Structure 1
Amino acid sequence: MALALLALLCSFPVWADCAECAVVARRFVVNEGFNGVVLVGHGATIDYVESFGVADAQTGRALTVDTPFETGSISKWIAAVVVMRLVQQGQLALDQPISNYLPDYRRDNGARLTLRTLMSHASGVPNEIDDAIKRDPATRTLSLDNSEAVQRFASGNLRFEPGADWDYSHSNWLLVKAIVERTTGRDYASLVEGYLVQPLALHHSGVFSGSSLGVAGMAHGYRRLAPDAEPLDKPSPDFMMLAGGFYASANDLFVLMDGLFAGRLLSPESVRILMAIERPPQHYALGGRTKTLPFAGKDHPVAWEYGSNGAYRVLAWRTLDDGHTVILMNNTSFDHMKIGELGTALMEASYR
């Protein structure tokens, strides 16, 4: 299988100004059977990008560097970028009680919760949506408006005083979606299109609900490829769009990260707030993490994003001091620890 994946290299052009990156990635493909896309760059420049394997095992359609993947929890970071744009425009405030935006929400919680505590998972809102999915997987196929989704899955008694602890709760993002859409009078998909996709000319990015296989060219998800391909598709309902409904190609995600940190989406102050650590033990900021990692003998602050849903695994790292970037995308339920090892090796190679 690994040799068959590597044979696909001859089918597509490869951009490789980082020769060592290519060596690291290709060795990993042969040794570990990685099926996906690898990209390494710095600033606005892609130094190496290559695809390995299949997007659709049934038809034999190969992956390309423009194949879209579900990005899992990277969607939360994308949602936080949209929220910060609205904060920058004066439509939202991070530290106002959310009852200002959702007057019909239960008053006791609404008076204590803020967008900041929701987006940093420090709200205490119990993760009722995940609990519901575990009890009944058909919850993934529900179609609910924001009001009903919030009532059913984001209105429980708080587990702790907001700001006092940390709990990774997808239910937070049901509330953020309700706030964003009620305040702007626009659906979230149009905000992503208007604030991110169009300004950056992204070609293979957006949001989805239901099965992502409805997205043109989407990489199909698999529990495994060998000995027989076993599909894995986990639909995401509309009301969870901010928690896990963003998709992108590797090229688009690189453009998006560079656009953000080059100042094409937010002001420097808004980017600073977005990336400032709110919960130090978890390295958690707003919708994503900022970590300090050692590369090339020096500690670097890193925008550290990782997402998974079903078979999809996406890692995106960018050093905040000098813009070195690694993006990895996989659609075959690959071991996330090994993806991290590959990301580290590629980041090191990017400095040589």
Structure 2
Amino acid sequence: MNPLIRLAVAAAFVLSAQPIAAQSFDDVAESAKEAGFNGVALVGHGRTIDNVMAIGVADAARGVPLTIRSRFEIGSVSKWIASVVVLKLVDQRKLDLDAPIGTYLPDYRADTGRQLTLRRLLSHSSGLPNQVLKARQADPSIRAVELNQAEAVRRYASGDLAFVPGTQWDYSHSNWILTKAIVERVSGKRYDALVDQLIVRPLRLKDSGIYSGDSGGTPGIALGYAALLPAPQPKPNPMPGFMAMAGGFYTSAPDLLAIMDAVLDGRLLSPRSRKELMTVHMPDQHYALGGRVRTAMVGGQMRELAWEDGRNGGFRMVARRVLADGHTVITLNNASYDYQKLGDLAGALLETSYSPEAK
């Protein structure tokens, strides 16, 4: 067996959800290594990387190991990135979170266009049914079918509202198909170009951007797997371009740290937009705009955190950032790692950043 694969897969492990006193980063990393974590994990504060590890394989068939700059799909955390792009356009006074979306898409169905706002779309409180998910479940062959944005809106984001906007919460990918149409109409640019202009270039990111279709063609990206034993089982899940806001962003752990720092310390967004991004609209879901904000026991205190989780195909990721002091953990996995174990790993690693004995 390829030694890289042997390193990447072993017996499952569970880390306690409670803080583990005086456990060092190296201790946690060794436990993860022995137990089969295949991915990259980073701990930092502010813009500074304190510790980072890369364990396992990026491409099992070719024996390519992961590195700390390996690129990963980040699944639904793409929605948080999309919300940042929307708020950048709000800062430029090109968009208003509370304007009826018919203002921006006059050809959209008038009844729904009068009721919906970007705030409702970005917080999953719009009532717009998840037509795209239903269609993909009914016919998996359409997962890789590309459509122009207008046609995608017509097919998958024009259904009758399931509830009055703002009264309930429903996780609907169709929200992001409609939001992408609005952003591209107002800016006059493709979404991938906007991400590059508003996020990638200003932050001088090296490993981030938008992909469409199968991400495997992206240079430097890890491949997604359902499992690595007894033989590698690839698990791609193509992301058509019209769904780029819902799940089409890729990045590395160092780049994601840079993004979270720039957004959450206020350098990338205005103070008002940063506040909008982190204001919870659906308390029972802890959901703000494109992501969650939660309070948890970290380092012996209750702390407020940006709470990001994403998945697509074989990719899983967890990112947490303490809002008050910038302590951050990022875990990226490309072999369908159990979410509970990934969250436990992230929690244990974040604890190390508060333990003087664990430095």
Q: Is the partner of 1:199 in helix, strand or coil?
A: coil
Structure 2 distance, partners of 1:26, 1:278, is 39
Are residues 56 and 317 of structure 1, via their aligned partners in 2, closer, same or farther at CA, if it must alter by over 3 Å?
same
Residue-by-residue CA offset, 1:28-82 (whole Å, 9 max, x unaligned): 221x211000100111111100100000000000000101000000000000000
Code of the residue aligned with 2:41 in structure 1: it is V
Corresponding residue for 2:31? 27
**2:314 corresponds to which of 311, 315, 323:** 311
Alignment: residue pair count: 341
Are residues 337 and 19 of structure 1, via their aligned partners in 2, closer, same or farther at CA, if it must alter by over 3 Å?
closer
Corresponding residue for 2:234? 231
Structure 1: stretches of 5+ with no match in the other structure? 8-17
Corresponding residue for 2:162? 159
Structure 2 distance, partners of 1:300, 1:196, is 27
Asked if 1:244 corresponds to 2:247, the answer is yes
Corresponding residue for 2:348? 345
Asked if 1:207 corresponds to 2:210, the answer is yes
Corresponding residue for 1:115? 118
Structure 1 distance, partners of 2:230, 2:264, is 43
Corresponding residue for 1:15? none
Structure 2 distance, partners of 1:255, 1:26, is 26
**1:65 corresponds to which of 68, 71, 76:** 68
**2:173 corresponds to which of 165, 170, 173:** 170
Structure 1 distance, partners of 2:119, 2:30, is 42
**RMSD (CA atoms):** 1.5
**1:96 corresponds to which of 93, 96, 99:** 99
> How does the TM-score come out when normalised to structure 1?
0.95
Structure 1 distance, partners of 2:343, 2:23, is 20
Q: Is the partner of 2:53 in helix, strand or coil?
A: strand
Map of 1:167-316 to 2, 5 A cutoff?
A: 167-316=170-319
Identity of paired residues, percent? 52
Code of the residue aligned with 1:328 in structure 2: it is T
**2:49 corresponds to which of 38, 46, 49:** 46
Q: Is the partner of 2:115 in helix, strand or coil?
A: coil
Q: Which moved more, 1:133-142 or 1:260-269?
A: 260-269
Structure 2 distance, partners of 1:262, 1:279, is 23
Asked if 1:36 corresponds to 2:14, the answer is no
Structure 2 distance, partners of 1:303, 1:197, is 21
Q: Is the partner of 1:333 in helix, strand or coil?
A: coil
Q: Is the partner of 2:49 in helix, strand or coil?
A: strand
Q: Does the 8 Å CA contact 1:127/1:170 hold for their aligned counterparts?
A: yes
Residue-by-residue CA offset, 1:120-153 (whole Å, 9 max, x unaligned): 0000000000000001112211121111100100
Asked if 1:129 corresponds to 2:129, the answer is no
Q: Is the partner of 2:280 in helix, strand or coil?
A: coil
Q: Is the partner of 2:52 in helix, strand or coil?
A: strand
Structure 2 distance, partners of 1:294, 1:121, is 27
Code of the residue aligned with 2:274 in structure 1: it is V
Structure 2 distance, partners of 1:237, 1:55, is 23
Code of the residue aligned with 1:23 in structure 2: it is D
Q: How far apart are 1:6 and its partner, in Å?
A: 7.4
Corresponding residue for 1:5? 7
Corresponding residue for 1:329? 332
Structure 2 distance, partners of 1:214, 1:227, is 25
Residue-by-residue CA offset, 1:255-312 (whole Å, 9 max, x unaligned): 1111112322111221111011011000000000000111122111100111000100
Corresponding residue for 1:84? 87
Code of the residue aligned with 2:200 in structure 1: it is V
Q: How far apart are 1:2 and its partner, in Å?
A: 9.0
Structure 2: stretches of 5+ with no match in the other structure? 10-21
